[in-house]
Chains A and B, each alone.
Chain A
Amino acid sequence: MTAATPARPSAGPRAVSPAVHVFEHRWLSYKRTFRASVFSSFLSPALFLTAMGLGLGTYVDAGNPSSLGGVTYIQFLAPGLLAATAMQSAAFESTFPIMSGILWSKVFHAMAATPISVRDIAVGNLAWIAARLTMISTVFTLVIIAFGAAAAPTIVLAIPAAVLTGMAFATPIAAFATTQYTPNKFNAIFRFGILPLFLFSGTFYPISNLPQPLQVVAWLTPLFHGVELTRALSLGTVADDPLAAVIDVAYLSIMFAIGYVALIRLLDKRMVPK
């Protein structure tokens, strides 16, 4: 070991952002559970599509085939589940791992003692969440195709749509997580935020089936826009209402951006007490 040698002038311009190494750390941790995780990411959509899409869908399709605009129930449901799954995964990845980095393993503090900045820590973690959502959404889409529930080739674009949906949730939830000292309120997010959105944002049925006031509420929620966008791409109906797709993308992007600014500020506040 040569710890005594004078420090080399290694602090020159770096080829890559230090955020890459934050991402690498998450990847190194993930690799350990890779096998189990891949299996479950195939299993979960397969179970849902079998139970809801095939099982329940048989009744729906037998009842009033035209009510879903001429597509089968499983074709209608699958992209909704894809977007909702991205939201759920993002919520999970933006709560406990963030709290751990700050409070439990404290690895964020280890990072902050090196050339990595607080912003790098946030960006690296968001990049990792985006990568995880891409993996989960890709697997989900493959399962949809395997079930014959893909109605159009544009379903490939449903993957980035689902990732955008998840990321719109990831930044504000991660920002909230940086303000917490226990995980108690995370359960509230899942129970009173994520679950109602999952049920009432048009994942399982068109929101036009809801009473008028609830339709308005549903339209205002972010998951509705994620579901609509993902579904339009999956069914190949974007061209029917391009403005709706633009609104969906804008809504989700703005939510992501606001969350991002909040995350950077709040993480800095937490890591560097003034």
Chain B
Amino acid sequence: MPDTVDRSGAPAPDASSRSSEPPLIHARSLTKRFGDFTAVDAVDFDVAPGESFGFLGPNGAGKTSTMRMIGCVSPMTSGQLSVMGMDPSTDGPRIRARIGVVPQQDTLDTELTVRENLLIYGRYFGLGWKEIGRRADELIEFAQLTERANDEVEPLSGGMKRRLTIARALINEPSLLLLDEPTTGLDPQARHLLWDRLYRLKQRGVTLVLTTHYMDEAEQLCDRLVVMDKAKIVAEGSPRSLIEQYSTREVTELRFEPGVAETLDGKLDGIAERIEHLADRVLLYTDDGEAAVSAVHERGLRPEAVLVRRSSLEDVFLRLTGRSLIE
């Protein structure tokens, strides 16, 4: 496993205590097979208490299968896994009692009200009605659902349902929260609202483990992440360190008229450290994007559109796999 943690010096909570505290999740050669299909292929990772840890990768990379093994709802095929120092194969119910789970697809009872969903979920953990009632009131406020508390869930918006699902996952006051694609399918405003709530949880010291195929989500929420592709972990580090390691500081995106891009062969050589030809645009990887734009123009090329931006995790993924995250 590449040792690239916090090379960037990005602020990470408890960076000093990390080495002394045992990891909350410890996985070695963790493998999951369904028949002949290998969903997760011998992955290694550790998650420290208080950390926000992400699995970034396209659909089908093995993220959800990994999360289900951590959440003790799917047994591993081989390898080692411990969660909070316990063994999922023997301590499943005890581990599940102490974690919160936000599944990829909503599993709310849409015929019950917002409040009833929280109450009954609290009962699953064997909590008393009075205590659940107190927690439900706080969580409804936290999820910004106060005005809808006694409404049925069915007509709520996608963003509201996701916030309710997160609130529900907190009813047992977990120290570890597992979020599988928490904002997939939400509009930008709903996503930002959700990120804000998750950021607050992180500040309170809740360990977040999330999967996403959105690079912006990973950059917003993760102290550290692993990039997964085809059942394997292909890189690991903080968002910034991954970008530093696998990409340049800036990227110049060029869009040409249809047909022009195919005639470029060689004309861009030497302008950038690395050049990627995508279906709809050409990416020039360089530390000075504006200089690259000037160089393109000097060579007599006239792209339809030019964009200079900072490198992102999308570029890291492209570099590592030769493919885009969202296809």
Contact = CB atoms under 8 A, between A and B. Distances in A.
B37 to A, nearest CB: 11
B95 to A, nearest CB: 8
Interface stretch (B109-117, B240-248, B299-307): B109-117
B120 A7 contact: no
B291 interface: no
Nearest to A111: B124
B161 to A, nearest CB: 12
Contacts of B73: 109, 112-113, 271-272
Residue with the highest number of chain B CB atoms closer than 10 Å, among A1, A11, A25, A274: A1
Contacts of B108: 105, 107, 110
Contacts of A113: 71, 73, 96, 101, 103, 107
A28 interface: yes
B28 interface: no
Contacts of A184: none
Contact of B109 (A1, A5, A107, A271): A107
A29 interface: yes
Interface in A89-115: 105-107, 109-115
Interface residues of B, number: 44
Contact of A3 (B101, B109, B125, B201): B201
B120 A4 contact: no
What 7 pairs between A and B have smallest CB-CB spacing? Answer: A4-B204, A110-B107, A114-B124, A106-B107, A11-B94, A113-B101, A4-B205
Interface stretch (B168-176, B182-190, B274-282): B168-176
A2 interface: yes
A116 interface: yes
Residue with the highest number of chain B CB atoms closer than 10 Å, among A6, A106, A113: A113
A64 B124 CA distance: 59
A101 to B, nearest CB: 10
Given A14-B126, A18-B126, A105-B108, A28 B97 contact: no
A255 B251 CA distance: 69
A21 interface: yes
A21 B126 contact: yes
Nearest to B86: A11
Interface string B157-199: 0000000000010101111000000000000000000000000
A117 interface: yes
Contacts of B148: none
B106 to A, nearest CB: 7
B158 to A, nearest CB: 15
B96 to A, nearest CB: 5
Nearest to A24: B123
Contacts of A3: 170, 173-174, 201, 204, 206
Q: How large is the interface on A (under 10, 10 to 19, 20 to 34, 35 or more residues)?
A: 35 or more
A5 B172 CA distance: 11
A10 interface: yes
B121 interface: yes
Given A1-B139, A110-B124, 18 more contacts: A3-B174, A4-B205, A7-B98, A7-B173, A10-B98, A10-B125, A14-B126, A25-B120, A29-B111, A32-B111, A105-B110, A106-B107, A107-B108, A110-B108, A113-B96, A272-B74, A272-B75, A273-B34
B96 A2 contact: no
A105 B109 contact: yes
Contacts of B97: 10-11, 114-115
B98 to A, nearest CB: 4
A3 B207 CA distance: 10
A6 B230 CA distance: 36
A106 B105 contact: yes
B63 interface: no
A255 B109 CA distance: 32
B120 A2 contact: no
Given A1-B142, A24-B120, A115-B125, A29 B93 contact: no
B26 interface: no
